[in-house]
Structure 1
Amino acid sequence: MTRSPRIDAVLVQAVIAGALSFAHLHDLAAAAGQTGWKAWAYPVSVDLLLVAAWRRLRNDGPSRLAWCWFLIALVASLGANVATAGFLDLAHPPAWLRFGIAGWPALAFLGGTLLAHSPAVGDHDSAPEPESVERVPAKPAPTPEPVPVELPEPSPALPVAESTSASASDVPVPAALVDHARKVADDHRTRTGVPIDTDTLRARLGVPAPMAEAIAAQLA
């Protein structure tokens, strides 16, 4: 289903207002002695300057440069609308009107050039420079006092099983390790039917040979 085009009332109003302002500027320029294509160029110049200043305000934010040229173009457009409403005798225009119309092209060229090529940052009010602050030498930080470190107390040694033979008494063996070795020996006897030998016990426990002999002596 096709939708019928809708007429935008705001757009129609803008076109009507622009056409009337355009015609008033043309009539004012023609009354000031600008004939032919020159009279048509004046309203184009005013409207373009107005649009350029408004676009600068929308894109870069408020600035003195953009507001200045926006107000100049707005006054030129409003002045033409008022002047052509019977407030001036266009059949005998005053000298100041001829002077203003003659000088407008240079003024509009200057405004358009500044709006197009001036940096946006320079338009805003510059921030005041910070006052110079006398630098005071920083005081050296105090050296922290050494904190005493408490060393952990040595853990008590595991009880050592009493040696059953004179040769194994030189190697201390923890009682917990002897209990674990006894379980390993019992498991070996259960699986193989023979007592565990010293080399197998040393391999199963991962201990040095002297300690393995001392454990084997306690298990015998």
Structure 2
Amino acid sequence: MVRTALRPDAVLVQAVIAGALSFAHLHDLAAAAGQDGWKAWAYPISVDLLLVAAWRRLRTDGPSRLAWCWFLIALVASLGANVATAGFLDLEHPPALLRLGVAGWPALAFLGGTLLAHTPADRTSTPPEPTAPDPAPAAEVEREPAHAAEPDPAPEPAAVSAPEETPALPVAEPEPTPPPAVAVPAALVDHARKVAADHQERTGARIDTDTLRARLGVPPHLADAIAAQLA
């Protein structure tokens, strides 16, 4: 079994040194504010754990107001301890505001750790992007062969000779039908006889049809019928 040799990493060494210095500064500040014994060692652990918890929340669940808020609070507490122990404050006679902040830090750190551990992530639900449909396969175009045999043209039907028309037979014209006989009253016929006899006595000639029609005052066909009866 081959063991991998431990190689020193400059970034890791730098992180260990910075963490140790920050830890010592927080311990000294807590001790100056009246927190002696194990309490002074618990303060830097609380600050660093809150800082790590907030950073882990940012890395795993994404940026959120809750994680950024507690990350900045822990960063200010750590950075403030580094600055305060650099000679800007009289640690022999710390101000009342510093004592108040150190005394209230446990409750503040407990609240931040609880919220970071039990508050669900505030993720904005982004609808999944619609996936583009697969491109339809290109329709295969059937190509006709370049030298395709053309079908033989259909034979034209033989011309059918039209049947010879038989000449129409001459149609005999119908003979004119005689006009129907007109019924003449007997009294009119007797009156016509008298008129004809009187005309023959005066003129010595038989009365013609036109004169008879004029003397009787009848239509031509009736005058013809009367003349036929008088003949």
Q: What range describes the TM-score normalised by the shorter chain of this pair?
A: 0.5 to 0.7
**Kindly tell me: are residues 33 and 125 of structure 1, through their superposed partners in 2, closer, same or farther at Cα, counting changes over 3 Å?**
farther
Q: Aligned equivalents of 1:125 and 1:66: distance in 2?
A: 15
Deviations 1:92-132 (A, max 9, x none): 000000000000000000000000000103xx5799xxxxx
Corresponding position of 2:48:
47
Deviations 1:46-93 (A, max 9, x none): 000000000000000000000000000000000000000000000000
- The reply on whether 1:78 has 2:79 as its aligned counterpart is yes
Corresponding position of 2:217:
none
SS at match of 2:36: coil
Aligned-residue offset at 1:5:
2.9
Aligned-residue offset at 1:4:
4.3
**Kindly tell me: are residues 66 and 33 of structure 1, through their superposed partners in 2, closer, same or farther at Cα, counting changes over 3 Å?**
same
- The reply on whether 1:65 has 2:66 as its aligned counterpart is yes
Corresponding position of 2:226:
none
Percent identical among aligned pairs is 86
Residue 45 of structure 2 aligns to which amino acid in structure 1?
Answer: V
Cα-Cα RMSD: 1.8
**TM-score normalized with structure 1 length:** 0.54
**Kindly tell me: are residues 126 and 102 of structure 1, through their superposed partners in 2, closer, same or farther at Cα, counting changes over 3 Å?**
farther
Q: Aligned equivalents of 2:28 and 2:38: distance in 1?
A: 12
**Kindly tell me: are residues 91 and 61 of structure 1, through their superposed partners in 2, closer, same or farther at Cα, counting changes over 3 Å?**
same
Corresponding position of 1:28:
29
Q: Aligned equivalents of 1:11 and 1:43: distance in 2?
A: 20
Aligned-residue offset at 1:6:
1.4
Q: Aligned equivalents of 1:11 and 1:106: distance in 2?
A: 32
List alignment gaps of at least 5 residues for structure 1. 128-220
**Kindly tell me: are residues 54 and 3 of structure 1, through their superposed partners in 2, closer, same or farther at Cα, counting changes over 3 Å?**
closer
Corresponding position of 1:103:
104
Residue 64 of structure 2 aligns to which amino acid in structure 1?
Answer: S
Residue 109 of structure 1 aligns to which amino acid in structure 2?
Answer: F
List alignment gaps of at least 5 residues for structure 2. 127-231
Corresponding position of 1:116:
117
How many pairs are equivalent? 125
Corresponding position of 1:38:
39
Residue 13 of structure 1 aligns to which amino acid in structure 2?
Answer: Q
Deviations 1:151-177 (A, max 9, x none): xxxxxxxxxxxxxxxxxxxxxxxxxxx
Q: Aligned equivalents of 1:110 and 1:3: distance in 2?
A: 42
SS at match of 2:63: coil
Residue 35 of structure 2 aligns to which amino acid in structure 1?
Answer: Q
Q: Aligned equivalents of 2:114 and 2:4: distance in 1?
A: 44
Residue 8 of structure 2 aligns to which amino acid in structure 1?
Answer: I
Larger helix proportion, structure 1 or 2?
Answer: 1
Q: Aligned equivalents of 2:19 and 2:87: distance in 1?
A: 20
Larger radius of gyration: 2
SS at match of 1:120: coil
